[in-house]
Copies of this chain bind each other. A is one copy, B any other.
Amino acid sequence: MSNDNASPTPGWLKIVGLGPGDLEYLTLSAMEALGEATDLVGYGPYVERLPIREGQERHVSDNRVEVKRAREALDLAVSGRNVAVVSGGDPGIFAMAAALFEAIEAGEPVYKSLDIEVIPGISAIQAASARLGAIIGGDFAVISLSDNLKPWSVVATRLEAAAAADFVIALYNPASKARPDRIRDAFALLNRVKPPETLIIFARAIGRPDERVTITTLGEADVSVVDMATLVFIASTQTRVIERDLEGKPNWVYTRRSVPIEAVEP
């Protein structure tokens, strides 16, 4: 038997969540994968957070090419490399994992035979909730406001349904240069469904040096401060602020676990 057409032994592909901001929330599993990989693939700023390892190749790319980046990573694994695709937050929450499986489904049949592991990470909603106290202490809904991939009417239907049913709501990707007004559209919708005293939190750049938390209300919120690094929370009727009146110690925000029946009745 000739070896001319022999395929290389495939490597593996792990898609690794780095968590938000610096690496304080990196998991043991993520560290192990990053240590064993022959190749790192990812958006530049994520790859640059990681220490250089001798012999480990880096493949950095732009933020807007998820499926292309996924295909590159899959081809590297097929060729025998051990590949860590790095992702901010949790790759499973509005990050690289869905793009990777889209690339597998649409791509070469050999991709389906690869060993693939998704290693979850701490997502922005968790880091922000922890910094505030426990805002997602009750039922919650997570919505991307980006309308790159779904029409605005889908976003609006979901936002209205979640608001009317008194979920705590977290909005990812609330603003962009291409569509700066969608956060205004979202707040106009919320103002029709929720009372003006509804608590609103803007949690910006949690875990980074420029972190900033704003606690306000639907009636008073100034959405002009919202940018792509901001996670927006719309509280439920059971969310409360614990006032501390202590210099340098922020107030806490948490959602009670119990819910009275009136909360979701019209």
Contact = CB atoms under 8 A, between A and B. Distances in A.
Interface string A120-148: 11110011011101111111111110000
Contacts of A263: 154
Nearest to A115: B249
B167 A98 contact: no
Interface in A140-197: 140-144, 149-151, 153-154, 157-158, 161-162, 164-167
A206 to B, nearest CB: 10
A259 interface: yes
A97 interface: yes
A38 interface: no
A137 B98 contact: yes
Interface stretch (A71-79, A208-216, A221-229, A240-248): A240-248
A104 interface: yes
A88 to B, nearest CB: 14
Most chain-B CB neighbours within 10 Å: which of A136, A150, A244?
A150
Given A28-B24, A142-B139, A150 B259 contact: yes
A118 B130 contact: yes
A92 interface: yes
A258 interface: yes
Q: How many copies does the complex hold?
A: 2
A100 interface: yes
Nearest to A152: B261
Nearest to A132: B118
Contact of A118 (B133, B165, B265): B133
Nearest to A143: B139
A25 B27 contact: yes
A83 interface: no
Given A102-B254, A120-B127, A161-B165, 7 more contacts: A26-B28, A97-B134, A101-B242, A122-B122, A139-B144, A142-B142, A151-B261
